[in-house]
Amino acid sequence: MAFRNRADPEQEDRVQRYDPEKVETRWQAYWEERGLFRTDADPGRRKFYCLEMFPYPSGRIHMGHVRNYAIGDVIARYKRMKGFNVLHPMGWDAFGLPAENAAIEHGVHPARWTEDNIGYMRGQLKRMGFSYDWTREVATCEPRYYRWNQWFFLKMYERGLAYRKDSLVNWCPSCATVLANEQVIEGRCWRCDSPVTRKELKQWFLKITDYAEELLRGCDELSEGWPEHVIAMQRNWIGRSEGVEMDFPVADGDERITIFTTRPDTLWGATFLCLAPMHPLADSLTGDREGLEFLKSRYGVMEEKHGLFTGRYAVNPVNGERIPIYIANFVLMEYGTGAIMSVPAHDQRDFEFAQKYGLPVRVVIVPGEGGGEGPLQRAYEDEGVLVSSGRFSGMRSREAIEEIGRYLEEEGLGRRVVNYRLRDWGISRQRYWGTPIPIIYCERCGVVPVPEEDLPVLLPEDVSLEGKGSSPLLASRSFVETRCPECGGGARRETDTMDTFVDSSWYFLAYCFRGDIEIGSAVRNPASELRHWMPVDQYIGGVEHAVLHLLYSRFFTRVLRDIGLVETSEPFRNLLTQGMVCKETLRCPEHGWLFPDEAVDGRCSRCGKEVESGRVEKMSKSKKNIVDPEFLIRKYGADTSRLFTLFAAPPEKDLEWSEQGIEGAHRFLNRLWTVVTRDAGMLRSVEAEKGLPEGGKGMRLFRKTHQTVKKVTTDIERRFQFNTAIASMMELFNEISAFDPGEAPAVYKFSLRNLLLMLSPFSPHIAEELWETMGERPSVLEHPWPEWDEEAAREDEVELVIQVNGKVRAKTTVPAGLDDREIEEIALREPKVTGFISGGEVRKVIVVKGRLVNIVLG
RNA sequence: GCCGGAGUGGCGGAAUUGGCAGACGCAAGGGACUUAAAAUCCCUCGGGGCUCGUCUCCGUGCCGGUUCGAGUCCGGCCUCCGGCACCA
């Protein structure tokens, strides 16, 4: 016990208490002064682009951010120690509605509000000690950023990928604004909860559907680096389906109605046609204006199907049958051709419609052998055998779909086509705080794009925001009134702004530049930094963006590839989707949801009523089940907060917040602190062990250290299992703290040294501090990641498990590396085993090297 | 309805791609130190049984199968979570 004496009060005094605040701010200043996280392209080293989804500057960071960025920081720091040249940037998704709401509610200008929030949150992120290259920071609301939104828009316009059309949009009557699809939650506005209606508006669209097939095929390429479920969601969203399009002539007229179906095998069962209310022929086929208006108002309303008989008939081209034409609210204009053939016997929706309007149901598919007698209770939608279908009767559905498709093409009645669920991306927003769409409307010249050299079209600052709803830019005369770039005459600017998803579809490119974002000069420029850094090697963010943001970014990257900006088609080679941060909800019968500190000993702090604890749910302000990261930093420090969020669950799973859990993480760092500072003098005076020690306890600790390096490294490398990596570091530390340093000081130092190196990506500040305390030269994170020696990690004795008929009957320690026969002999001689064997005959012995023997009796 | 994912102690979670189920942490219980508390340290900790052991039986949502051996593979259910959903 040469170096430790817990009871010695003098020594206690000399050991400084662990003060996270002091340690952390000290090292943050150190890193910043030295610009340690500043990265430049270096052709001599392998690059690694590590990116986390940038935050919306809502005011302060929340636990979701902490988790996301803690994961990213471990990866960035780890890769750096592994010798990669790591690009690890951060920025702000700074346009968006909350800024505008703040302006309406508190009279602060969105720019000011956003700027203040960014300032505050940047401070918070710095306080967490994340290793960002802040010199590459971008905010999407800066003109130097959004000018490229406009530039991309113009490039797409040139290529016919940006176009304007009338469309039905989601409209919130209470907020008097358009809502994006993702802002409609179960038919209601996400902000004010009022029912969303539809409204026809002229809007700008980006033609993502041109890339539907490519985006779908690209999914195969991603299967190595992306979570399976995210790829599934992307495929699902694109929703490819094969079918046929065919024309039904209108009886007593010249019109033809083109329908789309995936089930041509049911063609003989079509008993009526249905058009979407907005179908171009709907107007002319019915005289009932009122009825049509009613259907339009019910469009997209799921509760009930409504229809209107036009009084006209269509002719089924395969059998010449006259069938009635209906207009129906459930037929979508956006999918297929906006018209369907209705086969009530084999489609549940058509079945319900037919029941309501007394339309005939004709069975043309029967399941397998016979059966299917009597009136249907519901549609039979499965495949089967065709009946009453002319020369195709008796064929199986699968085959008939092929055959009929071919037949229709031969006869010129239809054609096989592929349809996608994916729609073009409507990007117009009737809002202020976004990128102005660079388009000018001239009475003489029509739609005129703003010339490239006039970019950016600046967002005017002098706009009054009163929440009226109509595009606020309309009210800015200086903005709206302009000159036509072509004829010089008076013209008006487009007053809608872009969806903020446009901003986030390419921000990862902006980080590739320091200072000016030089997108323009990067076109067809092989020396561009864009090409050096792209694609992102590791992307980390929440699953909530599994479709929209990720799909839009994949689309953008392909367009930019076609423009000659980047070579890659996929922006994100590897994707890690972290789980949500959850916490149990608390509710007072009188005061509703409670913040964690409003419940004292299970009672409401205001009324003393017993608190009901509800389900564990995602942390959210509305449920008040939140923990403020700033509070954690103050109480435990950034290192503990980071360590716990990484330890409590594997990254992709949901994390349940636990107050005691974080105490545990803090205890671990505290213990480590105490041990290193206590033994500092000794640690400074010895050299770390290099070779394999002779034997005894020193050798065991040395071996354990190598095993831990191996375990931690492989846990990080294969699927980022930080929780088990931390667990094994704790295990190592448990052995270190049980070890008497006097036995083998060099080994002791070796172990602590490696432990600090491995801990540094997780809890970097304390690692730096103790590294220095130990007499090592800072900075710890500029040291290479430790290597393990397979030889040193190998055990020379292993525990052999002996089973009889698959049940564990004995355990014994044997030297490592025995061959099968030797192991078998030891097992059969084992006294505890012989009793079990004596009853029967040994039929077979199975040996699993270095682990287990199973003796099978006959 | 369709597509994904998950069910393991009181809890969060571990288990070389078939080989000792429960690592690590939390909570709980017991003890040491202390005038006391906090902190710290040590021990116990899936369940049952008994002759309390170097004992024994059961145990990874449920039922069956493959195998010398299944938390892990196969078939069939149940439950929960997420996404999409009148997409023809």
Residue A15 Cβ < 7 Å to strand B:
no
In this model, does residue A613 exceed pLDDT 90? no
In this model, does residue A646 exceed pLDDT 70? yes
pLDDT for res A12: 41
Q: Which nucleotide is nearest to A726 (CA to C1')?
A: B24
Average pLDDT in the A294-313 region?
Answer: 89
Query: Who among residues 514-533 of A has its Cβ near strand B, under 7 Å?
Result: none
Q: Are strands A481-483 and A439-442 parallel, antiparallel or unpaired?
A: unpaired
Residue A62 Cβ < 7 Å to strand B:
no
The rounded distance, in Å, linking the Cα atoms of A60 and A528 is: 35
Measured CA A236 to C1' B3 distance, in angstroms? 7
* Out of A123-137, A410-424, A575-589, least confident range: A575-589
Average pLDDT in the A393-406 region?
Answer: 92
Query: Who among residues 540-599 of A has its Cβ near strand B, under 7 Å?
Result: 543, 546-547
* Out of A75-89, A457-471, A623-637, least confident range: A457-471
pLDDT for res A9: 38
Nearest-CA residue to the C1' of B68? A856
pLDDT tier at A255, thresholds 50, 70, 90: very high
Measured CA A300 to C1' B39 distance, in angstroms? 64
pLDDT for res A352: 92
Measured CA A92 to C1' B41 distance, in angstroms? 48
Average pLDDT, chain A: 89
Residue A727 Cβ < 7 Å to strand B:
yes
pLDDT for res A370: 53
Higher-confidence residue: A10 or A28?
Answer: A28
In this model, does residue A89 exceed pLDDT 90? yes
Average pLDDT in the A623-631 region?
Answer: 87
Q: Kindly tell me the sign of the dihedral angle through the C-alpha atoms of A269, A274, A280, A282.
A: positive
Most distant CA atoms of chain A, gap in Å: 108
pLDDT for res A531: 94
**Protein-contacted positions of strand B (CB under 7 Å):** 3-5, 11-16, 19-21, 23-27, 39-42, 54, 56-57, 68-70, 82-84, 86-88
In this model, does residue A191 exceed pLDDT 50? yes
pLDDT tier at A597, thresholds 50, 70, 90: confident
Higher-confidence residue: A69 or A3?
Answer: A69
Q: Which nucleotide is nearest to A237 (CA to C1')?
A: B84
Measured CA A575 to C1' B64 distance, in angstroms? 39
pLDDT tier at A835, thresholds 50, 70, 90: confident
Q: In b/e form, how buried is each residue of A84-116, taking b as 16+ CB within 10 angstroms?
A: bbbbbbbbbbbbbbbbbbbbeeeeebbbebbbe
Measured CA A733 to C1' B24 distance, in angstroms? 11
Q: Which nucleotide is nearest to A262 (CA to C1')?
A: B88
Measured CA A683 to C1' B29 distance, in angstroms? 38
Residue A856 Cβ < 7 Å to strand B:
yes
Q: Are strands A197-206 and A425-426 parallel, antiparallel or unpaired?
A: antiparallel
pLDDT for res A23: 95
Measured CA A727 to C1' B10 distance, in angstroms? 21
Residue A98 Cβ < 7 Å to strand B:
no
Q: Which nucleotide is nearest to A231 (CA to C1')?
A: B4
* Residues A731-758: tens digit of each pLDDT: 999 999 999 888 899 999 999 999 999 9
Q: Are strands A592-594 and A581-588 parallel, antiparallel or unpaired?
A: antiparallel
pLDDT for res A612: 75
pLDDT for res A801: 86
Any bridge partners for residue A256, and if so which?
A249
Q: Which nucleotide is nearest to A665 (CA to C1')?
A: B25
Separate counts of helices (H) and strands (E) for chain A: 28, 35
Spatial contact of A385 and A396, defined as CB atoms under 8 Å apart: yes
Measured CA A642 to C1' B39 distance, in angstroms? 23
Average pLDDT in the A245-269 region?
Answer: 94
* Short-list A845, A844, A833, A794, CA closest to A817: A794
In this model, does residue A19 exceed pLDDT 70? yes
pLDDT for res A3: 36
* Out of A96-105, A190-199, A243-252, least confident range: A190-199
Measured CA A335 to C1' B60 distance, in angstroms? 47
Query: Who among residues 612-651 of A has its Cβ near strand B, under 7 Å?
Result: 647-650
Query: Who among residues 241-270 of A has its Cβ near strand B, under 7 Å?
Result: 241, 243, 260-263
Note the ipTM here.
0.94
Query: Who among residues 118-137 of A has its Cβ near strand B, under 7 Å?
Result: none
Residue A809 Cβ < 7 Å to strand B:
yes
The rounded distance, in Å, linking the Cα atoms of A540 and A579 is: 11
Alpha helices (H) along A61-159: 63-81, 97-106, 110-127, 143-158
Measured CA A16 to C1' B36 distance, in angstroms? 25
Any bridge partners for residue A177, and if so which?
A172
Mutual angle of helices A63-81 and A696-717, in 10-degree steps: 110
pLDDT for res A471: 79
Any bridge partners for residue A172, and if so which?
A177
pLDDT tier at A180, thresholds 50, 70, 90: low
Measured CA A656 to C1' B63 distance, in angstroms? 33
Residue A301 Cβ < 7 Å to strand B:
yes
pLDDT for res A517: 94
Measured CA A604 to C1' B7 distance, in angstroms? 34
The first and second tokens of residue A452, run together, are 């490239």
Separation of CA A800 from chain center: 45
Measured CA A650 to C1' B12 distance, in angstroms? 11
The rounded distance, in Å, linking the Cα atoms of A203 and A490 is: 22
Measured CA A858 to C1' B48 distance, in angstroms? 31
pLDDT for res A374: 63
Residue A4 Cβ < 7 Å to strand B:
no
Residue A665 Cβ < 7 Å to strand B:
yes
Residue A340 Cβ < 7 Å to strand B:
yes
Nearest-CA residue to the C1' of B23? A727
Rg of the Cα trace of chain A?
34
* Residues A564-587: tens digit of each pLDDT: 999 999 999 999 999 888 887 777
The rounded distance, in Å, linking the Cα atoms of A146 and A148 is: 5
Measured CA A830 to C1' B51 distance, in angstroms? 24
Residue A284 Cβ < 7 Å to strand B:
no
Average pLDDT in the A415-440 region?
Answer: 92
Spatial contact of A138 and A515, defined as CB atoms under 8 Å apart: no
- How many of the other CB atoms lie within 10 Å of CB of A823? 21
Measured CA A764 to C1' B38 distance, in angstroms? 29
Distances from the Cα of A840 to the Cαs of A64, A808, A834, in angstroms? 61, 17, 11
pLDDT tier at A372, thresholds 50, 70, 90: low
Q: Which nucleotide is nearest to A338 (CA to C1')?
A: B88
* Residues A753-804: tens digit of each pLDDT: 999 999 999 999 999 999 999 999 989 989 999 999 988 888 888 888 888 8
Measured CA A657 to C1' B12 distance, in angstroms? 9
pLDDT for res A373: 59
pLDDT for res A468: 60
pLDDT tier at A596, thresholds 50, 70, 90: confident
pLDDT for res A383: 84
pLDDT tier at A97, thresholds 50, 70, 90: confident
* Short-list A51, A90, A209, CA closest to A572: A51
Query: Who among residues 309-338 of A has its Cβ near strand B, under 7 Å?
Result: 329-332, 334-336, 338
Spatial contact of A343 and A380, defined as CB atoms under 8 Å apart: no
Measured CA A798 to C1' B47 distance, in angstroms? 30
Collapsing DSSP to helix, strand or coil, A850 comes out as coil
Residue A236 Cβ < 7 Å to strand B:
yes
Residue A850 Cβ < 7 Å to strand B:
yes
